[in-house]
Amino acid sequence: MVPSFLLLTQAQQPYRSIFHSRKAPLMNPQRLIQKTVGRGEQNFVSLPKSRLTITVMLDRVKEIYQEIEQFDARSKEELEHFRIRYVGRKGVIAELFEGLKQVPPADRRAVGQELNELKELAQQRLKAYTTALEDQDDEASDAPDLSLPVVPNAYGGAHPLNVVRQQIIRIFSRMGFSVSDGPEIESDWYNFGALNFPDNHPARDMQDTFFIARNPDVLLRTHTSNVQIRLMEHQKPPLRSIMPGRVYRNEAISARAHCLFHQVEGLYVDTNVSFRDLKDTLYHFVKEMFGQDVRIRFRPSFFPFTEPSAEIDISCLICKGEGCNVCKQSGWVEIAGSGMVDPNVLANCGIDPETYTGFAFGMGIERITMLKYQIRDLRLFTENDVRFLKQFQGA
C-alpha cells in the first residue's frame, strides 16, 4: 500500500497530507530545508521550530519510503541489513517514531499515521523477502542442476587383503582371541633375540632383513612375532591374541614373493596348553576359512622360537588334492608355521616356563587370500589395478 502523501506531486506532498490547517503555507520541503539549513541561522529562526521538525521528518519519511521501494534483498545478508535498517528497534523508522515526540500534539496524529504506513510497508517487505528467499533455498536444494556432468558411480570396496584379514580376525575372535598390534620398525631384540635366534647363528639368515641402523641394530620387522614378545612382556597369562600386520623382507619381487607382505601371528599362553589345543584351534580356523571339505596336515619343522614346531598344509583348493602346478603336483599347500612356545622365549619375557606353556602360529595373509580367491600372482595386491580390485567389491 502506498502512503497517501506519495501519490501527490512533490510540491504538494508534505502539507497536503499532514497539515489540515488552512493557515499552513504550501511549500516544497526540499526548498524549505535549503532555506533553513542552507542559508543559515537567520532563516532558521524565522520559521517556527515545530514546522521545521515536521518538514524534515516528512522529507525523511519520503526518502526512506523511496529507499525501501528500491531495495532488493537478494541474499540473507541483504535481508538482514534491510531488517536492521528499517524494522529493527534502532532502525531509521524507529528513530522517526522517536522524533514524533517533538511534533506539536495537534499534528502528531497525522505525522504518526504517515510513520505507521511507512512502518507497515517495511514490515510487509521484510516478510515478502523472507518468504522469497526461503522458497529460493528450497528450490535450490530440491532441483537438480541438469547441466552438471554425470557423477561417476565410484563406490570403493575393501582391498582383498583387508577382506581376508577381517575374516581371520572374526574367526579367531569367536574363539576368544583379542587383536594386538606392535611396531614395524623394531630392535634386533624384539625381532630376533627374544625369539631365541642365537647371535651369529644361521637361523638369522632364514629371513633376509632390511636394516635401518647397525650396532645397535634397528630393522624393519621380518615377521609379526615381535608382537608376541611385546605382549608377553606387558601382560601376564592367560594370553590369547592374534597380531595382524605388515612385514618386510629383502626379497626379489616375483609372482610368489614380495619385499612387503602381511602376516597374522597367534599366541595362546596359559597353564596346561598343549599341542592338542594348537591343532584343534587351527583345524577350526582352516575349516571356517576354506570350508568343511578341506584337509589339514601338520609337518614337522624348525623355528627358533617354538619347540616342537610344525608347518601347516591344507589340501590344494584348486586341484582338490589331485596335483596341479599351484601345489607343485603335491596336492598340499603350506599356509602357516606353528609350534609350542620355546621355554626360553617365555623366560625372556618374564613368564615362568615351569608354570605356563603356550602355542604360537604365524601365517601370511597374501597366501591365504591367494588360495581363497585363486589369485596366481602376488604382485596384483600392490599394483592397484582397478580391474583387479573391482572384482572384490562387496566381498
Instruction: Catalog residues that contact ligand DAH under the rule CB under 6 A.
Output: 223, 225, 265, 303, 306, 337-339, 360-362
Rounded alpha-carbon distances, angstroms, from residue 65 to 10, 117, 126, 237: 14, 10, 14, 86
Whole-angstrom Cα distance, residue 218 to residue 251? 18
**CA atoms in the 13 A half-sphere facing the CB of 136:** 10
Closer to ligand DAH by Cβ: residue 86 or 177: 177
Residue 327 Cβ, how far from ligand DAH at the closest point, in Å?
Answer: 19
How far is it, in rounded angstroms, from Cα 272 to Cα 38?
Answer: 110
User: What cell numbers appear for 41 in the block?
Assistant: 541561522
What is each CA distance from 213 to 3, 184, 202, 392, in whole angstroms?
Answer: 89, 14, 20, 39
**Which is nearer to ligand DAH, 316 or 363 (by Cβ)?**
363
The H or E element containing residue 197 is none
What are the residue ranges of helices labelled H in 143-204?
Answer: 160-174, 188-191
Nearer to ligand DAH, 110 or 175 (CB): 175
For the CB of residue 384, give the shortest distance to ligand DAH in the complex, in Å. 26
Based on CB atoms, which residue is closest to ligand DAH, 78 or 307? 307
Residue 245 Cβ vs ligand DAH, minimum distance, rounded to whole Å: 11
Residue 207 Cβ vs ligand DAH, minimum distance, rounded to whole Å: 7
* Least distance CB 351 / ligand DAH (angstroms): 15
Which of 91, 362 has the CB closer to ligand DAH? 362
| Cβ closest to ligand DAH, residue 14 vs residue 337 | 337
We find the least distance from the C-beta atom of residue 176 to ligand DAH, in angstroms, to be 18
Backbone angles phi, psi at 340, to 5 degrees: -85, 130
- What single letter denotes the amino acid at residue 353? P
- Euclidean distance between CA atoms 78 and 84, whole angstroms: 10
Comparison of 203 and 389: residue with beta carbon closer to ligand DAH:
203
String of b and e for 130-158 (b: at least 16 CB within 10 Å)?
A: eeebeeeeeeeeeeeeeeeeeeeeeeeee
The CB-of-395 to ligand DAH minimum distance in angstroms stands at 26
Residue labelled with grid coordinates 516478510: 127
